[in-house]
Amino acid sequence: MGNNHGHSLGIPAGKGPNQVGCADLMVDHTIQGTFLRLYYPCEPSSDSEQPVWIPATEYFSGLSDFMKMNRVVGTRIISYLFGRYKIPALWEAPLKSDRKYPLVIFSHGLGAFRTLYSGICIEIASQGFIVAAVEHRDESASATYYFNKKCETEQQDDQASDDLEQVWMYYRPIKPRENEFPLRNKQVLQRADECVRALKLIAEMNSGRTVNNVLQSHFDWSTLKNSVDLCKTAIMGHSFGGATVIETLSKEPTFKCGIALDSWMFPLDEEMFPRVKQPILFINSEKFQWAGNIIRMKKLDCTTVQRKMITIRGSVHQSFPDFTFLTGNWIGKMIHLKGEIDPHVALDLSNKASLAFLQRHLSLEKDFNQWDPLIDGKDENLIPGTNLIIPPSSL
C-alpha cells in the first residue's frame, strides 16, 4: 500500500517520557455498565505484549456495516488491511504508581469504538496522564458488547465468567424518512452520562473502592488508589465525541476543560450552551467543517471563559483516528483517510496544542506551555479560528 510520507505504516508511539500501558475495564456486565480502555504511564515490563489494534472479529463486521459494505466481504477486506496491526502500548503492564496523574476521559466518534484513537490516547498518556477511552453503548459505535446472564439451565457452574453470555450491539443507521435530530440528541445525552459514569468510577477506584472487572484481567486495578488527581480532569473527543465533550461539560462541573476535535455540532440542543462554564479548545480539520457547524461552535464564545479555535491546514475529518496512519498515501487519499498534510505532522500539532491547553487550565507543572502559540494558530500548518467565511450577521 505504500508508505506514509516517509513513515512506515503503524500507529505512532508516544513521544513523552513515560512508557504507556493499557487495560480494558468493564464494571457491571449489563448495557448500563461502564466499558473503557485505560491508557496510563507504566513500569517497564518484559512480559507485557502489545495488544492487537482491533480486538475482535465483530468489530470488523461492525465497521463493514457502518461503511455500507457487504458484511462477509467487508470483514475480510478490513481484517486483511488492518487485522495485523498492534498498538504501541504494553498490555496490562503495571501502573507507575509513584504520583498522582491528571485524568482525561476520551469519547470516540460515530462508527468508532474504544481502540480507534490509540495514537492520541497513547501520546497524552506518555506525557503523564491517565486516559480513559469510553466505548459508547448508544448504538453510535460500529460495534460494542455487554453480557447477559444465561438461563439457569445453561449455567455450567457458579463461576461468573461461565454464567454470562456476550451480547453484541451494532451501529444503528438512520431509517428512511426518520428525523435524525431526536435520535442524535438522545445519543449525545447518553454518551455524556457514560463519560460522567466513567469519571465517577475512576474516582471510586482512586478512593480505594474495589471494583469487579467483568473481563478477564491480570491488571491490578487497586493500584489506581491515590493515583489520580481528581482536581485535574478534562474531557476530549472527536466528531460525535466532540459534541459529547460539550454536552458532558454542561452536566459535570468536575471537568475543568474540554477539547473538541473536529466536532459535529448537530446532536446538541443549543438551549444547554449557557450551562457550559468551562474553557474549550476546538481543533478542526480544514476539509470537514462547514459554515453552519462553525456558527454553532461560535455560539459558545464567551467573554469570561477561554474558548479557542484552530484549524489544521490540509487535514480531513479522518486525520484524528488511527486509520490515517495505517493506509498508504494513494489509497488513504482516495477513501478520505488522509489529507494533503502528513498525518504525523497534523496529529502532532493537535496533540501539542491539546497539551498546552491542558497545562493552562489544569494548572499543570509541565513544559507544555512551550506550545502555547499553537493554541492561537501560530504555525505554518495552522489557521487561527476557521478557514471558512462566516457572515458577522449569522453570529
The x, y and z cell numbers of residue 367, run together, are 513544559
User: Which of left, alpha, beta for 6 (phi over 0: left; psi -120 to 50: alpha)?
Assistant: left
DSSP letter string over 178-190?
--HHHHHHHHHHH
The x, y and z cell numbers of residue 120, run together, are 492520541
Amino acid at 371: W
Residues 6+ apart with CB under 8 A from 384: 309, 310, 376, 377, 378
Amino acid at 145: Y
Q: In terms of Cα–Cα distance, which of 179, 53, 182 is closest to 121?
A: 53
Instruction: Give the neighbor-by-neighbor strand order of the sheet with 34-41.
Output: 90-91, 20-27, 34-41, 130-134, 101-107, 228-238, 257-261, 280-285, 307-312, 382-384
Amino acid at 124: I
The x, y and z cell numbers of residue 251, run together, are 452536566
Residues 6+ apart with CB under 8 A from 14: 20, 88, 122, 123, 125, 126, 127
- Just list the catalytic residues: 239, 262, 317
Amino acid at 259: I
Q: How many CB atoms lie within 10 A of CB 364?
A: 19
Task: Return the axis-axis angle of helices 71-82 and 57-66, rounded to nearest 10°.
Answer: 120
The total number of residues shown for the chain amounts to 395
d(CA 11, CA 37): 17
Contact (CB, 8 A) for 192 and 219:
no
Q: CA separation (Å) from 392 to 129, 295, 298? A: 39, 10, 11
